[in-house]
């Protein structure tokens, strides 16, 4: 009887140690930033769901188009970006540089992009790979005096 209790306890302990691990979400590894060429939609900003809309299209030729809506109108910003290692920088067509550089990470499956701002707050933006809706492109106005997100 004593051996039965010991074996039962050992079996229970073994089962507890080999239980299912929780899904930790997308996996990121260094070197995956080559998957940044895509269309992205913001889903989180500063550890909370985004309360605004930002879509970014990073093209192979080093250009980007960004569509943002903070209130009622979509604004379109265009420019160039550079990815050196995992450091992402850019400038708008008017010559203004992005307000930050970013540490970029793309998930192994290419579905999630994380941008960590390179300022004292180090805010993280999370984007999901998603085609930019045609109505966003059609309704966007060319931004003139707005404040761009990046």
Give me the CATH number covering residue 105.
2.40.128.490
Q: Write down the pLDDT at residue 3.
A: 52
**Which among 94, 113, 150, 147 has a CA at the least distance from the CA of 26?**
113
Whole-angstrom distance, CA of residue 68 vs CA of residue 89: 18
Beta strands per DSSP E along the chain: 38-45, 48-49, 53-58, 63-69, 75-84, 87-92, 102-106, 112-117, 124-129, 141-142
Give pLDDT tens digits for 106-132.
998 889 999 999 988 889 999 999 999
Give pLDDT tens digits for 41-84.
999 999 999 999 999 999 999 999 999 998 888 999 999 999 99
**Res. 36: pLDDT tops 70:** yes
Q: Write down the pLDDT at residue 144.
A: 58
Q: How many domains does the chain have?
A: 1
In-domain check, residue 91: yes
In-domain check, residue 9: no
Residue 11: phi and psi, rounded to 5, are: -65, -45
Rg over CA atoms, the chain: 22
In-domain check, residue 119: yes
**Res. 34: pLDDT tops 80:** no
In-domain check, residue 10: no
In-domain check, residue 65: yes
pLDDT band at 148 (very low <50, low <70, confident <90, very high): confident
Whole-angstrom distance, CA of residue 65 vs CA of residue 92: 9
In-domain check, residue 3: no
pTM, to two decimals: 0.77
Q: Write down the pLDDT at residue 37.
A: 94
In-domain check, residue 113: yes
Q: Which residues pair with 97 in a beta bridge?
A: 91
142's tokens:
């060319």
Q: Which residues pair with 38 in a beta bridge?
A: 58
8's tokens:
């039962």
Whole-angstrom distance, CA of residue 57 vs CA of residue 63: 8
For residue 112, give its domain range: 32-142
In-domain check, residue 21: no
């Amino acid at each position: 009887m004593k051996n039965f209790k010991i074996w039962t306890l050992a079996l229970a302990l073994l089962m507890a140690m080999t239980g299912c691990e929780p899904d930790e979400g997308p996996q990121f590894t260094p070197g995956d930033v080559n998957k940044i060429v895509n269309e992205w939609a913001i889903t989180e900003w500063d550890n909370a769901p985004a309360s605004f809309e930002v879509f970014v299209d990073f093209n192979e030729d080093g250009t980007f188009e960004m569509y943002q809506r903070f209130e009622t109108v979509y604004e379109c910003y265009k420019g160039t970006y550079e990815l050196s290692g995992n450091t992402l920088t850019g400038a708008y067509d008017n010559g203004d540089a992005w307000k930050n550089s970013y540490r970029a990470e793309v998930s192994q499956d290419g579905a999630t992009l994380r941008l960590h701002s390179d300022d004292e707050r180090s805010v993280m933006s999370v984007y999901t790979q998603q085609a930019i809706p045609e109505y966003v492109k059609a309704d966007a106005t060319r931004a003139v005096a707005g404040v761009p997100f990046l």
